[in-house]
Structure 1
Amino acid sequence: MSSMNLEIEKRIEKAIEDLHSQSRTNIAKTARDFNVPYQRLKARWNGRNSKFQPRYADRKLDPAQEKAFCDWIDYNDQNGKSVKRAQILATAISTLQQSNPSESPHIGEKWLKRWLERHPEYRTRRRKSLDIERLLAQDKNVIQEWFSRYQAAIDQYGIQPEDLYNFDETGFQIGVGKDQWIVTRDPRRKIVAGNRTNREYVTVVEAVSTDGFSTPPLIILNVRQLQNRWFEDLIDERIAVTDSGYINDLLAYQWIQLFEKSTRLRTKGIWRMLICDGFGSHLTYEFIKFCEDKKVLLFFLPPHTSHLLQPLDVGVFNVYKHYHSEAIEAATITGCMKFSKQDFLAAISEIRKNLQITYNSPRV
């Protein structure tokens, strides 16, 4: 910018300040008083940015938001959870919404293309799908490398055993149980126990520490609204509703706040570690930023290894579902023809209690 234009810009800024203080705006007189071009002052007063302002002035994200945005992408990339374009657009809108809650931010179709042009360090690549059997055939070296990083993170952040948690979701068909083992003298006799099955889907979100402490579970129902009677038999369980019965970005963000509140007072060290899979709801900007602010270290499992490495999946949820099946059978014996959402919610506390007894009982 030339020294002459710089001087004009300074006078225009002072002229705009003066216009704000006037009871009756007079742009022409103000332009004469401050010796600035009338049309330029009028355009600036009507909201047009100066062409001499920093280049980011007409961008959606300011420099601080751009940096936080890049940090979020890098965080996911370094953990092997590279984000998709739709996630980037959704996060940009969310970031703008947080900075201006009263406005409804809009991002055009070409915004991402322009953003990538400004950041040539990022490239778009096609993620190829592999045959599921190839994905399941995990390389032992990959798993060993993950355990090495896991131990290094524990050492670096001083994670205490009580501050180490695993977080996962599991699904139930409310009235569908598993087959039960029985003892009989006649192995050829066909033995069945029937009821009118309820195949409505429900998700239960659990977090458990290495010393057996568990946070209040989040139960997600596939309905449009809550009913007061559902809360009658609950102890510390939380209920949420979605159209699908699955967790989403908003519920994941609300859950991590519940987790932080539930574990804050029992924290022994400075950081807590939360082991989880790379599901998209756990990778949003809000979720990760909250964890960083509250000193919750997210540690992601390698892709497609939950069946091998996810502690809740491997060691807990099968037993969980066993006691769910027993609850269905007990209700059937007493004459229940359809195990409903109300029955499931009434039984969930006892199911979790039996689960805890199973794992706390001494092994024979």
Structure 2
Amino acid sequence: MLKTKPSLTHVNATSDIRSLGDPHIKALYVHDILEYSERQIDESGLLKRSSLQRAIKARDNGRSIGKCGRPTLFDEAEELEMKQLFLDEIKIGKYPTKKYITQTANEMLQKKRNEGEECKSVDKHWTERFLQRHPEIVFAKPKALPIGRAAHSCRKVLIPFFDLFESYLHEEKPIPQLLFNIDETSTFFHKRKNDLVASSSSSPSLITPETSLPTATSIVFMCSADGCRYLTPIVIPYKTLPDEYKLATTSQEVFFPSTTGHVTSSSFFELFRICFLPEIIKKRIAIGEKHRHAALVMDGGVGHFTEEMRRLCKDNLVDLIKLPSHTSHIIQPNDQFIFANMKRVFARATESGQTTTASQKREVFTTILRDGLAAASYPSTIISSWKVTGLWPLDKSVVLKHLPENPPSWAENSVEPTKAPEGSNFGAIYKASDSDSSLFA
């Protein structure tokens, strides 16, 4: 009698294959020893075919098989060599930064590429895992902003805010058409590289600056949870507007001269009064909700929550929602895909190199700005940006599931207690129907 081949389900249940532990090792075993095909292994649910193929390739190249089936970038000797390099620098008082560790690893991979070996680049996630594997490497103390972000990017800070925001939604029952977010981002000319770069972007564009172009430009962007973008003020460092900027002003973008190109407390109030408040009122009328409260989400930036600003919002039925300190990179919609798409366009811009006169350069500059704003203004992009923050639709698990319960020990002292009535660190909500001094909680 011919013996039938055991099913993969039966094989997976046996003690021999259970002892192998790693699912990639199991898959290699049944593929090589028992001669099951990649398709059969995939259909059995033991391991996806793509993961098995990566595991086979890693094994054939003499590399270890990682948890996800991808080959490791460095072998054991190379990683120990890199570790020793950093330890030697620490002995002489030169503490590496995470960015330096990432750059050093990529330089080693570049040498491999020059030798004909295919290698991917490492990123910040690889660096985090490298430091976890080698806790004896003490990296340089981060600056104030990273410390603040590390201290406040935890459930201890964000759960109180989400509880407060959930209470507000339950009481006011706002609609997405009247749930707004305002934030500003900047572009500037890199003094060393002579390139226009987007703030927080690592990829500069190839725009050649000259004296007639702005050294800094602030873009103040407002969107709503239903996927709409509104009139966008662009603040540039000129005493009077050149003709190119006057002509570039449209129903979607408007240019404002400024001493420095940065948004100050007084200039933000004026921009809100002239540009954004009329847009909120117009939207309210358009949807037939003249007397419904609008909600405006903002971080604690300069001028966002002055008495003058709060009074103007109270008079126009706009509830102000203040995000917890150092958390806007997680729960502010504009800081998600919206600004990321905008900065990606800025970083890829190359048109300026083909122009010669100052007038032409200004025209190209306005075109690049407009292209960046267009990339940020897709309704699907705006809706997705609200969704990943957990603010609308309300779902705090979207954010909290990725965060630790408490801040790391080295940053814990940076978390300040709640300050009544402002609630500066854990967020605050100023309802237009409340008195000026009361905080809705």
What TM-score bracket applies, with the shorter chain setting the length?
0.5 to 0.7
Question: Given the alignment, which residue of 208, 213, 223 partners 1:196?
Answer: 208
Cα shift at 1:292: 0.5
- Of 283, 307, 322, which aligns to 1:266? 283
Aligned with 1:281 (options 281, 287, 303): 303
- RMSD over aligned CA atoms reads 3.2
CA distance in 2, matches of 1:350, 1:238: 14
2:174 maps to 1:148: no
Q: Do 2:184 and 2:221's aligned partners in 1 also have CA atoms closer than 8 Å?
A: yes
Native 8 Å contact 1:167 1:207 kept in 2: yes
Please give the secondary structure, in 2, of the residue aligned with 1:345.
helix
1:172 offset after TM fit, Å? 0.5
Shift of 1:210: 0.8
- The one-letter amino acid paired with 2:149 is L
Instruction: Give the drift of 1:156.
Output: 1.9
TM-score, length-normalised on structure 2?
A: 0.45
List aligned pairs for 1:109-258, cutoff 5 A: 132-137=145-150, 138=152, 139-173=154-188, 175-177=195-197, 194=206, 196-197=208-209, 200-236=215-251, 237-257=253-273, 258=275
2:367 is paired with a residue whose SS is helix
Per the TM alignment, residue 222 of structure 1 is displaced from its structure 2 partner at its CA by: 1.2
The secondary structure found in structure 2 opposite 1:165 is: strand
Uncovered stretches (5+) of structure 2, i.e. residues with no partner: 1-142, 190-194, 385-441
Q: Is the 8 A contact 1:323 1:355 kept in 2?
A: no
Partners of 1:304 and 1:264 in 2: CA distance: 30
CA 1:361–1:301 in structure 2 vs 1: closer, same or farther (change >3 Å)? closer
Query: How far does residue 250 in structure 1 lie from its aligned partner after superposition?
Result: 2.5
Equivalenced residues, count? 222
Residue in structure 2 matching 1:316, options 324, 338, 343: 338
Name the CA shift for 1:221/1:335 in 2 (closer, same or farther; >3 Å): closer
Q: 1:289 to 1:193 in 2, by over 3 A?
A: closer
Residue identity matched to 1:196: T
Matches within 5 A, 1:13-28: none
Give the secondary-structure state (helix, strand or coil) at the position aligned to 1:281.
coil
**8 Å CA contact 1:215, 1:263 repeated in 2:** no
Q: Distance in 1 between matches of 2:367 and 2:205?
A: 22
- The structural deviation recorded for 1:357 is 4.2
In structure 2, distance between residues paired with 1:152 and 1:336? 57
In 1, the alpha carbon distance for the partners of 2:378 and 2:148 equals 36
Q: Is the counterpart of residue 347 in structure 1 residue 347 in structure 2?
A: no
Q: CA deviation at 1:195?
A: 5.1
Q: What are the equivalent positions in structure 2 for 1:46-65 lying under 5 Å apart?
A: none
Q: 1:150-182, CA deviations, whole angstroms, 9 ceiling, x for partnerless residues? A: 12112222211111111100000265147899x
Deviation at 1:248, TM superposition (A): 1.7
Maintained 8 Å contact 2:341/2:375: no
Partner of 1:42: none
Q: Sequence identity, in percent?
A: 18
CA distance in 2, matches of 1:284, 1:150: 21
> Where in structure 2 are the equivalents of 1:98-109 lying within 5 Å?
none
Give, in whole Å, the separation in 2 of the partners of 1:279 and 1:290: 17
Q: 1:134, CA displacement in angstroms?
A: 4.0
Larger Rg: 1
- Matched residue, 2:419: none
Of residues 303-312 and 259-268 in structure 1, the stretch that sits farther from structure 2 once superposed is 259-268
Going from structure 1 to structure 2, the CA distance change for 1:233 and 1:286 (only over 3 Å counts) comes to same
Give 3-state SS (helix, strand or coil) of 1:344's partner: helix
What is the match of residue 4 of structure 1? none
In 2, Cα distance between equivalents of 1:218 and 1:361: 18
Q: Which residue of 2 aligns with 1:188?
A: none
Distance 1:340 1:135 in 2: 39
Gap runs ≥5 in structure 1:
1-129, 182-191
Once the 2 structures are TM-superposed, how far is the Cα of residue 147 of structure 1 from its aligned partner? 1.2
Structure 2 residue matching 1:282: 3-state secondary structure: coil
Q: 1:347 is paired with a residue of what secondary structure?
A: helix
Residue type at the aligned position of 1:249:
S
Instruction: Tell me what 1:40 maps to.
Output: none
Counterpart of 2:73 in structure 1 is none
Secondary structure at the counterpart of residue 226 of structure 2: coil
* Residues 14-65 of structure 1 deviation map (CA, whole Å, 9 limit, x = unaligned): xxxxxxxxxxxxxxxxxxxxxxxxxxxxxxxxxxxxxxxxxxxxxxxxxxxx
Q: Residues 227 and 383 of structure 2 are in contact (CA less than 8 Å); yes or no, is this contact kept in structure 1?
A: no
Give the conservation status (yes or no) of the 8 Å contact 2:333–2:382. no
Q: Displacement, 1:140?
A: 1.1
- Determine if the alignment matches structure 1 residue 304 to structure 2 residue 326: yes
CA–CA distance in 2 between the matches of 1:310 and 1:225? 33
